[in-house]
């Protein structure tokens, strides 16, 4: 029986770390510019609802995940944990697609920095997540919302750490990239392992 099915919330530190990750969407995307991811997503929604939805899911996925993790950490009964699981699955899909894009780039002679690190990370994390969540041999308490939050935060951290490598030494990334990387790591660190 999962701690969440018994109505137990995650520790407050998880709620606060998820709130920090969500707040990163309001930080500048580029150095010297005021544009934020939240502003970009709002503009996309104003232009066209489908464009806004896709932009929110693809670009805003980590922050949308953080919002659901924040709610689910305080309200373990209801729909919020299901939303966390769904968005964790979406983040895994995004991570694997990013790895496939990088793999395709390798075939085309474009690799960027540490392409195999991202490909390996995506393969290992997605496999571990699938094994944990889909195996009938995994006890329910090891598949609770805390496990989903941890896996989702690991997917965010791995992708954003790789993005950090790509822009290292370059001009351009704003506080958004660095803060999202750090906030993702913080969320991974504060989620209890097994309860």
Residues 70-96 pLDDT 10s: 999 998 778 888 999 999 999 999 999
Is 129 domain-assigned?
Answer: yes
Report if residue 5 sits inside a domain: no
* Full residue range of the structural domain in which residue 117 is found: 12-190
How many other C-beta atoms are found inside a 10 Å radius of the C-beta of residue 195?
Answer: 15
Inside any domain, residue 70: yes
Contact 190, 150 (CB under 8 A): no
Question: Residue 2's pLDDT is what?
Answer: 44
In a domain, 107, yes or no: yes
**Residue 130 counted as domain residue:** yes
Count CB-CB contacts under 10 A for residue 53. Answer: 13
Alpha helices, H only, 48-79: 49-58, 61-74
Q: What is the dihedral of CA 166, 169, 173, 176, to 10 degrees?
A: 80
Q: Which residues have C-beta within 8 Å of that of residue 139, sequence separation ≥ 6?
A: none
Q: How many domains does the structure of the chain reveal?
A: 1
In a domain, 1, yes or no: no
pLDDT in tens for each of the 195 residues of the chain? 344 444 567 899 999 999 999 999 999 998 878 899 999 999 999 999 999 999 999 999 999 999 999 999 998 778 888 999 999 999 999 999 999 999 999 999 887 899 999 999 999 999 999 998 888 888 777 778 899 999 999 999 999 999 999 998 777 788 999 999 999 999 999 999 865
pTM of the model: 0.89
Classify residue 6: in a domain, yes or no.
Answer: no
Query: What is the pLDDT at residue 176?
Result: 95
Please say whether the beta carbons of 56 and 41 come within 8 A: yes
pLDDT (0 to 100) of residue 195: 54
In a domain, residue 31? The reply is yes
């Amino acid at each position: 029986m999962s701690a969440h099915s018994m109505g137990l919330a995650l520790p407050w530190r998880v709620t606060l770390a998820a709130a920090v990750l969500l707040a990163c969407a309001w930080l500048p995307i580029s150095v010297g510019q005021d544009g934020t991811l939240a502003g970009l997503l709002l503009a996309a929604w104003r232009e066209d609802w489908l464009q806004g939805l896709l932009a929110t899911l693809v670009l805003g996925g980590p922050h949308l995940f953080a919002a659901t993790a924040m709610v689910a950490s305080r309200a373990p009964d209801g729909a919020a944990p299901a939303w966390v699981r769904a968005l964790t699955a979406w983040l895994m899909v995004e991570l694997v697609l990013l790895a496939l894009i990088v793999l395709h780039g390798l075939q085309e002679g474009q690799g960027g920095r540490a392409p195999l690190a991202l490909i390996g990370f995506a393969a290992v994390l997605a496999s571990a997540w699938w094994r944990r969540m889909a195996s009938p041999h995994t006890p329910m308490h090891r598949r609770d919302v805390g496990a989903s939050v941890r896996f989702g935060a690991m997917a965010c951290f791995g992708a954003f750490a790789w993005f950090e490598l790509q822009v290292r030494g370059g001009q351009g990334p704003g506080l958004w990239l660095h803060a999202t990387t750090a906030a993702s790591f913080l969320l991974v660190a504060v989620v209890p392992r097994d309860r």
